[in-house]
Structure 1
Amino acid sequence: MSSPHDFDFFHGDWEVRHRRRTDFLDPGSDWEEFPATSRCWPLFDGAANVDEIDMPHLRSKGVTLRLFDHESGLWSLNWASSRSGRLFPPVAGAFTGGRGEFYGDDTHDGKDVRVRFVWSGISDATARWEQAFSPDGGETWLTNWVMEFTRATTEPAAGPVASGTPAG
């Protein structure tokens, strides 16, 4: 059963390796790869979070708002892109055995699609997200985007602030 702390692993800074199809609905399309960075922070004592991902290769950023519904026990994942400035239809789901599956309905290139997000490979230092589309209501799925997350290493501060010195 899911809990309000399922996404606690994701809080903090990440380096991201993207691999996505050049055509989300064509199983024969090429894959492109590119790096990105992501930062996630908690809200509502862990029952919500926000992350922003910076994808210079695509000249865009994205933001996801995740909300845990205490009544249903499900998470909703709500994505927006800096390219469009609009919120896409949410996906909803839960974690079972360390794997999260989330489903929703959307359109892509004018076609109705069922959308699936899967979170797996979760540890303190890694996580994997993948997106798949189904043009036939969930009978078949085509994975079209994979993100491999690795915990970002941060440089130590330049040095301690001297006692009594304002920190700016």
Structure 2
Amino acid sequence: MAFAQKSNTASAAFLASLMLVAPLALATHATAQQAGKVKSSHGSWSIVCDTPAGAPGEQCALMQNVIADDRPEVGLSVVVLKTADQQARILRVLAPLGVLLPSGLGLNVDGKDIGRAYFVRCFSDGCYAEVILDETLLTTLRGGTTATFIVFQTPEEGIGIPVDLSGFTEGYAALP
């Protein structure tokens, strides 16, 4: 499972996945910063494409930007992409600066706890958590209606930010 559960086995699997993905954070940071061009919309999701400097071709991602209902200063960018070599799928979430990093990013889908991912890096625009989007998590997102990402500003205070999954399945299928 891509999001770490509380067991040691799942934590080890998550950390192994993270080690595979962490180098991609730097390589694709510039792409995440560029607005790109919206190629298509699928429910609440958009496919955004751009050709980064030095890249052999266009790179696309499935994206949704959301803001917490009760905390307008807390927003997330949720990005799903396939690596240029088509060997991996990545779920990347950009959270605002000021989140409590050790608590990580929680995820539940339709009320079911999926687990937590650790933040891998912070830049001037916020902090990134990313995981390999394995088949189990992909199936969960495709079958869900709402994914709630939880960021923490204190160890006791989690802020749940709902992400509408309508259009996710179609958008993912259209992602080059």
TM range (shorter): 0.3 to 0.5
Provide TM-score, normalisation by structure 2.
0.34
Provide TM-score, normalisation by structure 1.
0.35
- Flag the structure with larger Rg: 1
Bigger share in strand: 1
**Relative contact order, higher structure (CA 8 A, sep 6+):** 2
